[in-house]
Structure 1
Amino acid sequence: MLTIPAPARAARGFADVDAWVFDLDNTLYPAHLDLWSQIDERMTDYITGFLGVGRDEAFRLQKDYYRRFGTSMRGLMINHGLDPAEFLHFVHDIDHSPIEPAPLLGAALAALPGQKLILTNGSVAHAEAVTGRLGLSHHFDGVFDIFAADFVPKPNPETYLRFLDRHGVDPTRAAMFEDLARNLTVPHELGMTTVLVTPDAAREVEREAWELEGRADPHIDHVTSDLAGFLHGIAAALTRR
């Protein structure tokens, strides 16, 4: 298990956690599988046709809106009247075959006490495709997707509050696993134990620089590039109590 130390301070632990909350893309499956590049390409294709602009301009807007609004879709909705359902159907029409079953992750999830939930800026359909390929669908008690969030994405505070209310989660008894540090700011403020899931350092991953920042920020309790190993460690520690 490769775990990178969080900042030198008292990190929150997992002793009282009974709700395990996971982001989907680049968290439940490793970033080096590069599914996101497929989604990226589909977004650029859609924006090119939707706005009638060249691919360079479509890509620029896509990335600008992603950083400013949490998702490219949200920026397109606010500024251009985008139909989110149509957009999501188009951009998630990708090849999921690079994802392979993850039995070690499944065993780790099964060993954790309490409910396991997915909180994603994607759709339920996309989450089901991903967890189906991973062989993990039966481990999760629910998916809170962008439709449930009324198309308001992480890191907006109202999205986390709506999620907590929908699933009856006490944030002081919950842990959140994410690949973007900025999406862990609000969970930490709400009392959740936060875990930043980073790419495997031995694998080449194409991400924007800001997406990889934040592992030393005060709102990050733990950092790991091996989610399955990290969860096995938690389960073993809880068993020894």
Structure 2
Amino acid sequence: MSKVWIFDLDDTLHDASSKIFPSINQSMTNYVSHKLKISHHDAHDLRDQYWKVYGATLKGLIENHGVDPKEFLLSTHNAEELSKFVKQSHALENTLKKIKGKKIVFTNAPLHYAIAIIKSLNIQKYFSAVYSIESTLYNPKPSLYAFKKILRQLGKKAHQCIMVEDDLANLKTAYKIGMKTILVSKQNKKIIFVGKRITKITQLI
């Protein structure tokens, strides 16, 4: 029975923390401030609050302010600008080439951004599908709903899948429903729901 490899995108397949995330964060705060006509400081606090309650700024904006998710995602993820921060890696390409089985990307990012980043990394040929925040009807990982929706779309059972992620909360859900889990992180703590830990993606082979 062939395995399905489910890869997160940001900070798993490439480094998003150093330049991409700060830029997106700034754009999101600007958007909230402008849209709700509040100060940057208040916008920042509101986003913090929505993270705690909903796991994402967008979910809070949809629930409480009726914000159009497409508008929000397009104005906060300028794919053309953000792709410039991406560094191609032959080692990454080589790793993906050697991994046997179906490979997909499952990200909380919007589709236009995910595709632009994957193309900039020159790895689009290794993935049979990209599941984005739109695929889960704007319910982000680690929600159970998001995982179940992706499994239904894949037509697979959880035990047939291996989740490769940098985020512990997302791996916890994956483990709970029966997926194998691989953490991409430099932290060394033993965690029950992490099957294997690697410090970078190229260590998969």
Report the TM-score when normalising by structure 1: 0.79
Partner of 1:128: 115
Deviation at 1:215, TM superposition (A): 5.0
Deviation at 1:88, TM superposition (A): 0.3
User: Paired residue for 1:105, among 89, 92, 95?
Assistant: 92
Deviation at 1:50, TM superposition (A): 0.9
Partner of 1:223: 197
- Give the counterpart letter for 1:221 in structure 2: G
Using the alignment, how far apart are the partners of 1:222 and 1:79 within structure 2?
A: 39
Query: How many pairs does the alignment contain?
Result: 203
Partner of 1:153: 140
Is residue 59 of structure 1 aligned with residue 44 of structure 2? Answer: yes
Q: 1:27 to 1:215 in 2, by over 3 A?
A: farther
Asked if 1 retains the 8 angstrom alpha-carbon contact of 2:198 and 2:204, the reply is no
User: Paired residue for 1:75, among 60, 72, 81?
Assistant: 60
Report the TM-score when normalising by structure 2: 0.92
Partner of 2:32: 47
User: Paired residue for 1:34, among 7, 10, 19?
Assistant: 19
Unpaired runs of at least 5, structure 1: 1-15, 200-211, 233-241
Using the alignment, how far apart are the partners of 2:8 and 2:179 within structure 1?
A: 14
Q: 1:221 to 1:67 in 2, by over 3 A?
A: farther
> Deviation above 6 Å: which 4+ runs of structure 1?
none
Q: Residue deviations 1:162-194, cap 9 Å, x none?
A: 101101222212111112101111110111111
Unpaired runs of at least 5, structure 2: none
- Give the counterpart letter for 2:197 in structure 1: V
Q: Residue deviations 1:2-24, cap 9 Å, x none?
A: xxxxxxxxxxxxxx761110111
